[in-house]
Amino acid sequence: MPRSRHELALLLPVVALTVACPKDTSIFDDQTPPTATLDFPFDGALASGPALTFRGTAQDPSGVTSVTVDFAETSTTDGYATWEVSLEIPTGDLFVQVGTRDQFNYDPQAVTINMERQGELVGPTALDFNPSTGQLVFTDVELEGLSGLVPSEAITQNLSAPNIGQGPELAGCTGVAVDGVSGTAYVVDSIAPALVAVNLSAGTRTVLSDGATGAGTAFSSPVDVALDATGARLLVTDDGLDAVIAVDLATGDRSVFSDGVTGTGAALTSPAGVAIDSVGGALYVADRAGSVVQVDLTTGDRTTVSGGGTGAGPAFSAPTYLNLDLTMDRLFVSDLGLGAILEVNLTSGDRVEVSGPGAGAGDLFDQLEDLWLDEAMGRLLVLDSDAPAVWSVDLATGDRTIFYEFRRGAGDRDVTLDAVTAAPVGADAIYAVARGEAAILRLATPSGDRTVLSDASTGAGPALVEPTDARSLAPGGAAGLDGQLLVVDRGLAALLSVDPATGDRTVLSAGGTGTGAAFVDPAGVAVDSTGAIAWVTDLGADTVVEVDLATGNRTTISGGGAGTGPAFDAPVRALQDPGDPGRLLVMDRGLLAVVAVQLTAGPGAGDRTVLSDGATGAGDPFLSLAGASMTAAGLLVCDPTAGELVLVDLASGDRTLAAGGAVGFGPRLDAPSGLAARTGGDGLYLVTDGATFLVEPTAGDRVVLSL
């Protein structure tokens, strides 16, 4: 499997010595090893999954006998003209080498790339420390799983997710307790509601306690959990029951341990995060109503430690999670309402702001979640589910810095991307449509940096208002728009060209430019291979409009009385079928269908035929449709609502899941909206809500280009 860079340094001298001492004297007749390409992934890629598909090509006049990726043999069906292999990859920085061999020669580094694998981070919520591995294990409610972070190295990996380990999905994981001895994490699923045991090595998930597993009081709205190893039980806070529930580790049976009628003292009002002192016999509970409560582990009796009239200092607003520091007789509490971390003296109950609006330098927290005291480094590591990030808070100053985040490339991250197109030449030229920002972005490779190519302040011409789709034109096109970008802007009700060098904008077709019925609500654009004609889908008119790119003249070719067949109902994107240039493939969001439109003149021109929908073709029906691209296997369609890429067989209409969910390793697909074929390599560029990926369409694996 791909090796970290320090491992590789030990291997290369041995390989070099082997190559320098050939045994076959016929090497003098052929001294050139095969050449190769690595088409997927790319140099500088950021991966998140435990495995990845590597795909490429190799050539040699005398034939190729072997291609390896980090010494693992690849498979081929065409003599290594194309090859592939799926490998497990470790976390951290990786150096990947492709080796090639013919009958006489071997090149261990025909291709080399640097890449990285880190655990994805989307909505981290709760954490616990695993002393057996030195990892912080934290839940990620958006990923529906668990991740591990090594604080000493800032290395992360996803430990359990829908495509990592078997078992029920963690739909609402809000609390976790780790048993380092058994290598098990106990996770609160607030949506199920249930308590789930997760094997940290394999990622497998098993229900320990829920309505059907274990007897006793049913969970209502469980929040957090602590492991009481001495009592062989788990203690779970339940906001719906206003209680702490004890769960037997062996049976999953549940019983009320402390609530308004069990145990004495102030009643719990909105119990949330917990921290346990098994030696001292106490459980500490953050009550979001405004206090921290100590619960006796023997009796269930409750005592207010801080808040509600106990202790001086800034009043709690919504204390959510907490962490014990028994050495210093204190608690650290994250307060969601204050956007701050408070230190609580366990003896007096006094509160002091450690970091937040009133203490420490650095950007403010977005959405504070759980926290952990790193005593050796004098810091707190704090989860933030909105950033999303892990913060480091200096205990001496309260200063805040980002310790870890899953991102790639500089530039604004909080941008929703709606469509993507690649320049017809130059693999480093990728453009994305940001409708909400009224801008076209340029995405650099391999850095992933995001810069504005064209918006109200960049480039000349009419300012973009609401761009929705874009396509690049090849040089030498019939309309003379060499290498320009075609951009649909529904706010301007126009089709524009954008210069990829300057960002300048020119209206090609609109109500005052070109003849024909004006656009009502244009959404998507497709272009023919000659660069003479574009087709625009019009949501407002439920039509497809053909645009002469030289004149801007518009002709409705399907819908609105043109052509026969099922009427359009929100056609959003389209592309010309490269296998059959006589038809246009239209993604219709209202029909939840792929519709073919006949382009050839004469009888049947403009006619519409459903190729795939809930009644045509097998497979799960679309929940929505957006961008699409052709692959060797068929039409790949974005389903933003399902968070999936769906492969459509254009002959049968059958639909199969191609990427997302449990198919393919890599970052989750959050509202995928645009696809474009990669220039100069394998794979498809895909944009989602704020990210750009490269997707390997056969296996569904994906790596980050820009995030």
Q: Which residues contact 611 (CB under 8 A, 6 or more apart)?
A: 585, 593, 594, 595, 596, 617, 648, 650, 653
Closest CA to 690 of 435, 453, 383: 435
User: 167 lies in a domain?
Assistant: yes
pLDDT for residue 263 is more than 90: yes
pLDDT digits (tens, 9 = 90+) for 518-527: 999 999 999 9
Q: Are 649 and 546 contained in the same domain?
A: yes
Asked whether the whole model's pTM tops 0.85, one would answer yes
pLDDT, tens digit (0-9, with 9 covering 90-100), for 330-368: 999 999 999 999 999 999 999 999 999 999 999 999 999
* Pair (107, 133) in one structural domain: no
Same domain, 149 and 53: no
Q: So what's the pLDDT on residue 26? A: 54
Q: What mean pLDDT, rounded, does the chain reach?
A: 92
Assess whether pLDDT exceeds 70 at residue 83.
yes
Residue finishing a domain among 73, 89, 117: 117
**How confident is the model at residue 440, as a pLDDT?**
96
Task: Provide the CATH number for the domain around residue 602.
Answer: 2.120.10.30
Contacts of 165 (CB under 8 A, 6+ apart): 198, 199, 202, 203, 204, 205
If asked whether residues 241 and 261 sit together in one domain, one would say yes
Rounded to 5 degrees, what are φ and ψ at 487?
-130, 130
pLDDT (0 to 100) of residue 648? 98
Q: Give the closest residue to 503 by CA, choosing from 436, 433, 444, 455.
A: 455
Q: Does residue 348 share a domain with residue 425? A: no
CATH of the domain at 49: 2.60.40.650
Q: How many degrees, rounded to 5, is the angle at CA 673 between CA 488 and CA 460?
A: 30
Share of the chain above pLDDT 90, in %: 85
Same domain, 307 and 398: yes
- Determine contact, residues 622/639, Cβ cutoff 8 Å: yes
Residue 98 belongs to domain spanning? 3-117
Domain boundary residue, one of 404, 429, 452: 404
The strand pair at 46-47 and 106-117 is best described as parallel
Q: Give the model's confidence band at 401: pLDDT under 50 very low, under 70 low, under 90 confident, else very high.
A: very high
Both tokens of 34, joined, read 């095969």
Say how far residue 308 (Cα) sits from the centre of its chain.
41
H-run or E-run covering 12: helix 5-20
Co-location of 139 and 10 in the same domain: no
For residue 604, pLDDT over 70 is answered with yes
Are 379 and 313 part of one and the same domain?
yes
Residues 505 and 644 in one domain: yes
Do residues 63 and 210 share a domain?
A: no
Please check the confidence at residue 625 and state whether its pLDDT lies above 70: yes
Asked if residue 571 lies in contact with residue 523, where contact means CB atoms within 8 angstroms, the answer is yes
d(CA 628, CA 586): 9
Residues 441, 368 share a domain: no
pLDDT tops 60 at residue 8: no
Res 480: pLDDT: 78
Is 477's pLDDT higher than 70? yes
pLDDT of amino acid 28: 54
More confident residue, 426 or 259: 259
The predicted-structure confidence for 631-676, as pLDDT tens digits, reads as follows 989 999 999 999 999 999 999 999 999 999 889 999 999 999 999 9
Whether 92 is covered by a domain: the verdict is yes
Which one-letter DSSP state was computed for residue 163?
Answer: T
Which pLDDT band holds residue 693 (cuts at 50, 70, 90)? very high
Sheet holding 571-576, edge to edge: 571-576, 583-588, 593-598, 608-612
Supply the pLDDT for residue 529. Answer: 86
Domain end call among 117, 134, 150: 117
pLDDT at position 493: 97
pLDDT on residue 426: 59
Is a pLDDT exceeding 50 seen at residue 97? yes
Q: List residues bridging with 108 in a β-sheet.
A: none
Taking the C-alpha atoms of residue 277 and residue 447, their distance in angstroms, rounded to an integer, is 47
Q: Phi, psi at residue 19, to the nearest 5°?
A: -70, -35
Q: What is the pLDDT of residues 133-147, one digit of tens each?
A: 999 999 999 999 999
CB contact at 8 A, 437 and 455: yes
The neighbouring-strand residues paired with 485 are 472, 498
Name the DSSP letter for residue 26.
Answer: G
Report the C-alpha gap between 294 and 242 in whole angstroms.
15
* Bridge partners for 199 per DSSP: 184
Structure tokens at 136: 């912080």
**What's the length of the chain?**
707
476: left (phi over 0), alpha (psi -120 to 50) or beta: left
In the chain, the number of structural domains is 3
